[in-house]
Amino acid sequence: MSFLIRSAENRDLTAIQAIYNPEVLNGFSTWNEQPFDLKHFENLLIELKNQNFPFLVVEDTENQKIAGYADYSFFRSFTGYRHTVEHSIYVSPEYSGRGLGKLLLQSLIEHAQQNNIHVMIAGIDHENVVSIYLHEKFGFKQTGYMPQVGKKKGLWRDLVLMQLMINA
C-alpha cells in the first residue's frame, strides 16, 4: 500500500466525517458526545486555511481512500498563546497499526517548525497508551495529568497533557 500526506480538500470532508463520528459514538479519543455534520467540517477547513493552520489527510493512493487526518489550531484564544497549538490526529480503524499516526504527527511538527510555533500540545485520554507512546517517541513530555475532568458514556475520564517544544 502507498500513502500520501496532503492538505485536506472539500472532496475529503465526507471521509473525514466518517472517521471522526464513529469515534464520537464509540470511542474515547474525543470526549465530544455529538457527531458533527458536514457543515462543521466545511467551516473547519475554511477556518484552518484562513489561519494558515494545517488540515492534513493521509490518502491510501491505491484504493483512493482517506485513511486518516490531522490538524492543529490555537491552544487557547488569548493572544499570549499565539505560538502554542493543540493538535488532533485520527486514523480509520481499518488502517490502524500501519504507522499513519506517526506520518501525520511528523507532518504537523514540520508545519509547526516552518510557521513559528513554539509549543505543540496533545490532550490525550489516559487509557490511550498507543497515542501516549507515539507522542513520547517524538519527544513530547507529559506536563500534566488532570483526573476526572471529562465524562463520556457515564465514565469519568482523566486527561494526559503532553507538550513538545518546537522552536526552543
Contact 71, 56 (CB under 8 A): yes
Distance CA 57, CA 9 (A): 9
Contact 88, 53 (CB under 8 A): no
How high is the pLDDT of residue 164?
A: 98
How high is the pLDDT of residue 142?
A: 98
Confidence of residue 1 (pLDDT cuts 50, 70, 90): confident
How high is the pLDDT of residue 125?
A: 98
Radius of gyration of the chain (CA): 15
Contact 27, 34 (CB under 8 A): no
pTM comes to 0.95
Q: Which three cell numbers stand for residue 127?
A: 487509557
Beta bridge partners of 124: 160
How high is the pLDDT of residue 168?
A: 66
pLDDT at 70 over 80: yes
Confidence of residue 100 (pLDDT cuts 50, 70, 90): very high
